[in-house]
Amino acid sequence: MNKEQLLKRKSEISELLSDETRSIDNLDAIETELRDINNQLAAIEKREQLLNEARSINEGNAAGTNKIETFNTDPSNEKRELGTNTVEYRNAFMNYVLRGEAIPTELRANAVTKTSDIGSVIPQTVLDKIIEKIEAVGMILPLITRTAIKGGVTVPTSAVKPVATWVAESSGSDKQKKTTGSITFNYHKLRCAVAVSLEVETMSLAVFETTLINNIVEAMTKAIEQAIVSGDGSGKPKGILAETPVDGQALDVAKINYKTLTDAEAALPLEYEASAIWTMTKKTFMEFSAMTDADGQPIARTNYGISGKPERILLGRPVVLCNYVDSFATATEGTAFAFLFNYKDYILNTNYQMGVKKYEDNETDDQVTKAIMIVDGKVVDKNSLVVLKKAPAA
């Protein structure tokens, strides 16, 4: 029943009970029904309260909510119509990027964002290819959790899991309060300069779009993944290595050997070991791969030979190779050179609406075209993080 029906039924029960002349034989059943109605009404009121609070957060009116800036937060302010996929708009967009020619008003009317930070919207066809390629060429992006939550919204994260306890017959157990933390996604602008070096006069639409895609993908993929690993959270996403590991999960390593791996595995909590993977540079991985026993044979590969292809696995755990951390050989004292982590515990919140803007560099007189995207990211559970740091020299 809905709220109106519940209130009506509650009123009928009240009238029934207030009539002293009427005999009532099923008081227990009426009491049960009344309790059920009250519970349903309480649930409905709670749901209405939560909806109002969520609406207040979305509108920036909730207590403690500070709106950093309004960038693409109102769907009515940006509509990407099918017009951006037309050949006419795509050609006009190419002329805007290459020659600085303004896109005709009739094409801009239904295609261009009203946000002042972006000069011209990238055609949807090109944008789809950019997103697809960014997700394909990245080493880390395919592993993380991606969301499209509106910036400025606080997202709750569970901090403690309830624990079941054995109790004696007819005994109860203590009630456990499940505490929750929260994270708030901000607006961080990611921009890259788009350099088109081919001859302007002879460039076809297909070549232009391919070149533009390659430029944006190369720059933005590297910037996003670098931020995921080591971003400081100031004007950019907060990276994994910016988190403080749980006690006992930051290890100082003076020399790479087999014990380095076993110590790291021992530091990783049992409940998080299923999905955690290694991240390090290729040079660091090859140092692990080069570990030998007393007879000079590769550890656990007595018949390895020089023709065997190294598997990027350490103690059964996959290894992601990247250049976003220092190698063991070049790392300074106290610097992280490898880590274990479950990338699904990192959330990247992305506004894939992307545009370009042209401006003139007064220092060099160069015409610069930049692409802009909104990105933020945070670790939501750091319990799977085990960091290996370079120990002081002995």
- Pairwise CA distance, residues 217 & 377, whole Å: 18
Digit-coded pLDDT (tens) for 8-35: 888 888 877 777 666 566 777 888 888 8
pLDDT for the residue numbered 114: 40
State the pairing for strand pair 346-361/145-147. Answer: parallel
Query: Cα–chain-centroid distance for residue 30?
Result: 51
Among 236, 235, 193, CA closest to 215: 193
pLDDT for the residue numbered 394: 60
- Pairwise CA distance, residues 339 & 239, whole Å: 12
Q: Is the CATH code 3.30.2320 the one for domain 243-358+380-390?
A: yes
pLDDT in tens, the chain (394 residues): 788 888 888 888 887 777 766 656 677 788 888 888 888 888 888 888 877 777 776 666 666 555 544 444 444 444 444 466 777 777 777 777 766 677 776 665 544 444 444 456 677 777 777 777 776 667 888 899 888 777 666 666 655 455 676 766 666 556 555 555 666 667 677 777 665 544 444 566 777 777 777 777 777 888 889 999 999 888 888 999 999 999 999 999 999 999 999 999 999 999 998 999 999 999 999 999 888 877 777 775 655 556 666 678 999 899 999 999 999 999 999 999 999 999 999 988 886 566 677 667 677 666 667 777 788 888 988 999 999 999 987 6
Task: For the chain, state the CA radius of gyration.
Answer: 29
The verdict on pTM exceeding 0.95 is no
What are the residue ranges spanned by the domains of the chain? 75-158+176-230, 243-358+380-390
Among 125, 132, 47, CA closest to 80: 125
In the three-class reduction of DSSP (H, G, I as helix; E, B as strand; rest coil), residue 206 is classed as: helix
Digit-coded pLDDT (tens) for 296-335: 777 756 555 566 666 789 998 999 999 999 999 999 999 9
